[in-house]
Amino acid sequence: MIVVGLDLSLRSTGCVRLSGSWGADWRKIDYCVVEGGSLNKVATLNQQTVRLQYIAETIEAWIRNHRADVVALESLDLHGWTVVARGLAELHGVVRAQLLHLDVPMVQYRASEVRKTLLGKVPRRGAKDAVHNFITSAGAPWDCNDVSDAFAVANHHLSMCGHVAVTRSVEVSE
């Protein structure tokens, strides 16, 4: 089973390709970051849409090239941020629409359950950094929180399908 994990973001989306048989060999993981750039507060609707389209099309091409069996997304958590929330909600919708063209099943998981699979006990503050620090200390070759979150959601999906997943209780060796 090939899972692509996505941590969708308007500025920096993390993408990870993870096989159910990766065997804790970090060299077998492919990943990328899709930079959406930043727009000022007075960006036109066209500028915002062009950015959404660029991110979605880049992700679609990356997934097509990696022949995913399933795409695992972190569900949308708005944290009460209305301006950012609208953009993230639009991005989720556009990416899911693009994924329909690929005919790849999609699943969504809450960030809290994804992090719990990986860390066991999730800290109240700094959970995103805790995930990244744990994954990189286990041998991940990247230095990007968004890629670590994408790995975490793909890893969680593999665990839900009965594959061995990276957790605090599983030894990870190179």
Q: Which domains does the chain have, with CATH numbers?
A: 2-160 (3.30.420.10)
Contact 95, 59 (CB under 8 A): yes
DSSP 123: P
Helix, strand, coil content of the chain in percent (nearest 5): 45, 15, 35
DSSP 27: G
d(CA 108, CA 146): 16
Contact 4, 154 (CB under 8 A): yes
pTM, full prediction: 0.79
**pLDDT, tens digit only, all 174 positions of the chain:** 999 999 988 888 999 999 988 888 888 899 999 998 877 766 777 888 888 889 999 999 999 999 899 999 887 766 656 666 777 788 888 888 888 888 888 898 988 899 998 888 888 889 889 999 999 998 999 999 999 999 999 999 998 988 866 766 544 433
pLDDT at 84 (0 to 100): 65
pLDDT at 169 (0 to 100): 54
